[in-house]
Structure 1
Amino acid sequence: MSQPSEPPRRFPDAREDLARWDRTPDTPQTLSPSYRLAWNDGDFLTREALRPVRLQLELLKPEMALAERGITSTVVMFGSARIPDPAAPGPARPASGLSRWYDEAREFARLCTRKALSTDNRDYVVCTGGGPGIMEAGSRGAHDEGGVSVSLNIVLPHEQSPNLYGTPDLSFNFHYFAIRKMHFLMRARAIAAFPGGFGTLDELFEVVTLVQTGRMKRLPILLFGDDFWHKVIDWQALVEAGTVAPADLGLVTHVATAAEAWKVVESWQGV
């Protein structure tokens, strides 16, 4: 049976109007900022009053791109931008003592990507912040296996230029932290948190809070590096103070290796 034909277009495509704009003769009127098409006017779109529109655009652009690629689930990897590749030449850096987690993150991303490849890169797709350190290791592990990875970068004064291993057409740049964090979680099948600083803690507690309060379905939240996390966060002190329930500590799972973490993800049945 033949497919029904699409109805004729009643109005011009926005790109057609943009092409017509480019051919408009220069006059005092057409050169005025007021004459620019609103959606093609950078000065207008960056005005304070247009923040709600910019928020919506940052939500829509990655969402549409991921949907068009058929990506239905991701494995999200958080961790410090300052943890270096232990094999990289050069002097020791401040977080060099944690560099073994770079290798573990890279291996975990490989394991996720092997599964993703079996789904035609639709499920278990690695998703990172797209920057250096642990984020680079995640993108790199996916690249090692010949798979794809999603990068959710953000404009920062330092540290956050995209690494060279992320899939180019799945690399996105954000202005708003809040929208970026939404995209981390909207398709997440599992969260893997490696040692990190304020940004990693912010991302980790966002997801723990959403799961604890029932605003997000439970999923594996994996903490790599038992010593690091128990030193940085006194989980038991929260219970003793009565600010969290003892059962809340079960929302996170401490793991030591990529293989151990992948076993948790692969066997997860949901709760």
Structure 2
Amino acid sequence: MAGGSRKQVRFPDAQRDISAWEGTPDTPQTLSPAYRLAFDDPDFLCRPELRPVRLQLELLKPELTLAEMGIDSTVVLFGGARIPDPEHKEKARTETLKDLSRYYDEAREFARLCTRHCVEAQGRELMVVTGGGPGVMEAGSRGAAEAGGKSISLNIVLPHEQAPNRYATPELCFNFHYFAIRKMHFLMRAKAITVFPGGFGTLDELFETLTLVQTGRMEPLPILLFGREFWEKIVNWEALADAGTISDSDLDLFTFVDTAAEAWDVLRTWKKPERAA
């Protein structure tokens, strides 16, 4: 081919075959479910036996999109969906939640700081990624939007909290069926993990991250826990070390911070620890 710049297409693409199939005359044969193209047959794709294929699709769809957009690194914001915007904290069901509302503002400000850097890097570095829901997730999406940038949202189908928050970037808002694949996407491009007060989901995300780093299955990175008072009340970290169920050095895997400015300073100055000989 002249110039060699265009890829030769030998076979029709899938979309063309779907269009051709839609124009097929209705007959007993063509109306049968058996006749549908396998990749255009929702009933077939949702069969229990096709779970391995669905797992692969959930891994591939966001990965291909983020790669095509040139996003190299992210900063993850984990945190509770129930942490209220301070403007509406009086609606919170406990006094503790009202007090924790200050972390909504800290998440919002931290997302702004990260996004300013991301915008300067043409959207390639330190893009904020959240779970796409309310609470801390909304604060992260909101701060990114206020800084004039984009954010990634990794939503999941739940009986509640399904809809993405209104600040999520539409073209970077993904929906998942599998928690495991969703958690992989949180970590695949992560340059830092920030964890705000939260519940079971936040604890799950935190401890999976710590386990992967502790066991060497993931490279070390800054893991910043917002709110020392909250986290030391929820988890007796020292007791784990004293009992010998974790090493004393495992307590160095994470850093407590209380403000967005403090977290940003830690992120900017963090150096990867040297491996023991």
Category of TM-score, reference length = shorter chain: over 0.9
- Map 1:39-78 → 2, pairs under 5 A: 39-78=39-78
C-alpha distance in 1, partners of 2:25/2:93?
Answer: 56
Which residue number corresponds to residue 262 of structure 2?
Answer: 260
C-alpha distance in 2, partners of 1:110/1:156?
Answer: 28
Which residue number corresponds to residue 34 of structure 1?
Answer: 34
Which residue number corresponds to residue 203 of structure 1?
Answer: 205
Relative to the length of structure 1, the TM-score reads: 0.97
| 1:90 positional shift | 6.3
Report the AA paired with residue 47 of structure 2: R
- Map 1:130-209 → 2, pairs under 5 A: 130-209=132-211
Over 3 Å counting, the alpha-carbon distance change for 1:243 and 1:131 in structure 2 is same
Report the AA paired with residue 73 of structure 1: S
C-alpha distance in 2, partners of 1:123/1:60?
Answer: 21
Which residue number corresponds to residue 119 of structure 1?
Answer: 121
Report the AA paired with residue 29 of structure 1: Q
C-alpha distance in 1, partners of 2:136/2:4?
Answer: 49
Over 3 Å counting, the alpha-carbon distance change for 1:249 and 1:13 in structure 2 is same
C-alpha distance in 1, partners of 2:3/2:167?
Answer: 41
Native 8 Å contact 1:84 1:93 kept in 2: no
C-alpha distance in 2, partners of 1:170/1:191?
Answer: 19
Q: After the TM superposition, which of the residue ranges 105-114 and 83-92 deviates more from structure 2?
A: 83-92
C-alpha distance in 1, partners of 2:204/2:89?
Answer: 31
| 1:266 positional shift | 1.0
Q: Deviations over 1:91-112 (max 9, x none)?
A: 3334223101000000000000
C-alpha distance in 2, partners of 1:135/1:225?
Answer: 16
C-alpha distance in 2, partners of 1:77/1:67?
Answer: 20
5+ residue gaps, structure 2: none
Native 8 Å contact 1:113 1:147 kept in 2: yes
- Map 1:104-115 → 2, pairs under 5 A: 104-115=106-117
| 1:5 positional shift | 3.4
5+ residue gaps, structure 1: none
Native 8 Å contact 1:85 1:99 kept in 2: yes
Question: What SS does the corresponding residue of 2:221 show, helix, strand or coil?
Answer: coil
Which residue number corresponds to residue 19 of structure 2?
Answer: 19
Over 3 Å counting, the alpha-carbon distance change for 1:80 and 1:89 in structure 2 is closer
Report the AA paired with residue 88 of structure 1: H
Q: Deviations over 1:20-63 (max 9, x none)?
A: 01101111111111100000100000000000000000000000
* Number of aligned residues: 270
- Give every structure 1 segment of 4 or more consecutive aligned residues whose post-TM-superposition deviation is greater than 6 Å: none
Q: Deviations over 1:112-142 (max 9, x none)?
A: 0011111001000000000000000000000
| 1:166 positional shift | 1.0
Q: Deviations over 1:228-250 (max 9, x none)?
A: 00000000000111100000000
Native 8 Å contact 2:89 2:101 kept in 1: no
Report the AA paired with residue 267 of structure 2: V
Native 8 Å contact 1:211 1:217 kept in 2: yes
Q: After the TM superposition, which of the residue ranges 66-75 and 83-92 deviates more from structure 2?
A: 83-92
C-alpha distance in 1, partners of 2:46/2:162?
Answer: 22
| 1:269 positional shift | 2.4
| 1:267 positional shift | 1.3
Which residue number corresponds to residue 245 of structure 2?
Answer: 243
C-alpha distance in 2, partners of 1:93/1:16?
Answer: 54
2:25 aligned with 1:4, yes or no? no
Native 8 Å contact 1:132 1:160 kept in 2: no
| 1:7 positional shift | 4.3
Native 8 Å contact 1:126 1:149 kept in 2: yes
Q: Deviations over 1:55-83 (max 9, x none)?
A: 00000000000001100000000000001
Question: What SS does the corresponding residue of 2:245 show, helix, strand or coil?
Answer: coil
RMSD (CA atoms): 1.2
Which residue number corresponds to residue 217 of structure 2?
Answer: 215
